[in-house]
Amino acid sequence: MKLERAELRVVTLPLKFRFETSMGVETEKVFPLLRLRSNGLEGVAEGVMDDRLPVFREETVQSAMTFLEEFLPRMIGLEFPNPEAVARYLEPYRGNHMAKAVIEMAFWDLWARHLGQPLHRLLGGVRDAIPVGVSIGIQKDIAATLELVADHVAQGYKRVKLKIKPGWDIQHVTAVRSAFVNINLTVDANSAYSLADARVFQALDTLQLDYIEQPLAWNDLHDHAKLQAMMNTPLCLDESISSAQDARKALESKACRVINIKVGRVGGHLEARRVHDVAAAFGAPVWCGGMLESGIGRAHNIHLSSLANFSKPGDTSSASRYFDTDIINEPLEVTDGLMPIPAGAGIGVSLNEVVLETVTLQKQEFGA
Ligand code: MG
């Protein structure tokens, strides 16, 4: 299909609460939103990079906008028969996985709508609802953490993930485990530690955690393998995995036993599916991580999570947990810890044009 037009926005949504991790505090979500058009149809996707400061990975909204403003005019007018062709077009250019994913994912939505198929069916999904966990940021004290955990356990979430950082780890996680003996509990350090902190992880190793996520540096498989060898609890890698090759190397070198797949972080659905398949070949489960997405990014994540080896609960909770107002018309709501996959062609949700206008910081069109 021929790409006829593209609309690129930067959108901002205020968060309902401050979300603190070892990387800092977020109070609003700023992201690029791309609409690709062909033959009267539209495909939509959003970006998951940081605004201004590259704290999660090296990309930012600003670097992605530079990339997208360069590539979209070149791609308008070209024929792309399928998502593989889009990925092949972008493949020679290095890095920028999150920026590439915006284009690749919007094309998947457009292509699925063109074929009249839901995205999960084209990806090869096998389930019609996704088990959902919750990610709890760093709170002001243990009491506040315990209250939030109780609230989410009561709502039926299938897994509780606690963000940790040096000084906010053993004592707090132990308190939660003592109060909630049987819940599926995990922690995420977002690369805040080094091997010199091994004693912290040996203490956490006694708390029956389902996994410990990204304890060490984002670009260091070697030390993750050393740490994994000291522990019974599986390590899960997030920031470290940019591609299926990274996943293979991490699993071969025993740097982790679980992988968090973020479709934006690895460059789109095709590479996310490859990471999923590599992990399956190693017998390693995967789950879908979140980046505080709006309903558009959540819908993409939900469809991807329908693949067979997404056997652990993901971060695909309701957007209403994070935002007062979403930019899509259809509510994506969790019931008893399960998120239904949106029905309909493509990602199965549509933009609310009225809301979208009120949260748009900038907008440009290509091929108009
Ligand atoms: Mg993570």
Ligand 1 centroid–CA 247 distance in Å is 15
- Res. 122: pLDDT tops 90: yes
Task: Choose the catalytic residue: 2, 262, 312, 363.
Answer: 262
167 with 194, same domain: the answer is yes
* CA 259 to centroid of ligand 1, rounded, Å: 10
Q: Could you tell me the distance, in angstroms and rounded to a whole number, from the CA of residue 79 to the centre of ligand 1?
A: 36
Nearest in space to 240 (alpha carbons), one of 267, 273, 266: 266
Decide if 158 is catalytic.
no
How far apart (Å, rounded) are the C-alpha atoms in residues 187 and 161? 5
Q: Which of 29, 158, 163, 312 is catalytic?
A: 163
- C-alpha to C-alpha distance for 256 and 65, rounded to whole angstroms: 33
- 272-288: per-residue pLDDT in tens? 999 999 999 999 999 99
How confident is the model over 232-245, as pLDDT tens digits? 999 999 999 999 99
Report how far Cα 174 is from the mean position of its chain's Cα atoms: 27
Cα-to-centroid distance, 163 and ligand 1 (Å):
9
Distance between CA atoms of 240 and 120, rounded to whole angstroms? Answer: 26
Looking at every residue in the chain, the average pLDDT score rounds to: 96
Structure confidence by residue, pLDDT tens digits, 202-212: 999 999 999 99
pLDDT bucket at 368, cuts 50 / 70 / 90: confident
For residue 75, how far is the Cα from the chain centroid?
Answer: 26
Distance 1 CA to ligand 1 centre (A): 36
Parent domain of 147: 121-340
Do 166 and 243 lie in one domain? The reply is yes
Please indicate, yes or no, whether residues 15 and 147 belong to a single structural domain of this protein: no
Answer yes or no: do 219 and 303 share one domain.
yes
- What pLDDT digit, counting tens, does each position of 143-180 carry? 999 999 999 999 999 999 999 999 999 999 999 999 99
pLDDT at 138 over 80: yes
CA of 289 to the centre of ligand 1 (A): 7
Cβ pair 177, 206 in contact under 8 A: no
Query: With 80 as the cut, is the pLDDT of residue 6 above it?
Result: yes
- Residue 269's pLDDT is what? 98
Q: Please tell me whether residues 183 and 328 are part of one structural domain.
A: yes
288 CA → ligand 1 middle, Å: 10
Cα 317 to ligand 1 centroid, rounded to whole Å: 15
Q: Could you write out the DSSP letters of every residue in 341-354?
A: PPPSSBTS--B-HH
β-strand partners of 41: 38
The identity of residue 25, as a single letter, is V
Same domain, 54 and 145: no
Residue 261 Cα to ligand 1 middle (Å): 9
146 in the same domain as 106: no
Residue 49 is classified by DSSP as P
Predicted confidence at residue 292, as pLDDT, reads 93
Query: For residue 239, how far is its CA from the centre of ligand 1 (angstroms)?
Result: 7
Judged by DSSP in three states, 277 sits in: helix
Residues 275, 161, single domain; the answer is yes
Q: Cα angle vertex 178, ends 238, 150, to 5°?
A: 75
pLDDT bucket at 318, cuts 50 / 70 / 90: confident
Res 75: pLDDT: 98
Which pLDDT tens digit goes with each residue over 258-273?
999 999 999 999 999 9
On whether both 91 and 180 belong to a single domain, the answer is no
Q: Is the pLDDT of residue 13 over 80?
A: yes
Q: How far is CA 43 from CA 54, 79, 114, 210, 354, in A?
A: 27, 15, 9, 36, 18
Number of independent structural domains in the chain: 2
Q: Which two tokens stand for residue 155?
A: 């709502």
Say if residues 186 and 210 touch (Cβ distance below 8 Å): yes
- Tell me, letter by letter, the H, E, C secondary structure of 112-129: HHHHCCEHHHHHCCCCCE
Q: Convert the pLDDT of each residue in 321-356 to its tens digit.
A: 899 999 999 989 999 999 999 999 999 999 999 999
DSSP state of 310: -
Q: Is the pLDDT of residue 72 over 80?
A: yes
Q: CATH number for the domain including 299? A: 3.20.20.120
Task: Kindly state whether residues 57 and 95 are assigned to the same domain.
Answer: yes
Residues 104 and 188 in one domain: no
Residue 19 C-alpha to ligand 1 middle, in angstroms? 13
- Range 173-189 average pLDDT: 98
For range 111-134, the mean pLDDT? 97
Residues 98 and 234 in one domain: no
The alpha carbon of 205 and the centre of ligand 1 are apart by a number of angstroms equal to 18
Asked if 35 and 44 count as a contact pair (C-beta separation under 8 A), the reply is yes
DSSP symbols for 63-93: HHHHHHHHHHHHHTT-B-SSHHHHHHHHTTS
249 is catalytic: no
Percent of all residues in the chain with a pLDDT value above 90, rounded to a whole number: 96
Which H helix or E strand runs over 17?
strand 5-21
Residue 97 sits in a domain whose CATH number is 3.30.390.10
Spell out a b/e string for 306-322, using b for 16 or more CB atoms within 10 Å of the CB, else e: bbebbebbbbbbbbebb
Tell me the pTM.
0.97
Using the CB atoms, write b or e for 136-155: b if 16+ within 10 Å.
Answer: bbbbeebeebbebbeebbeb
Cα of 366 vs its chain's centroid, Å:
27
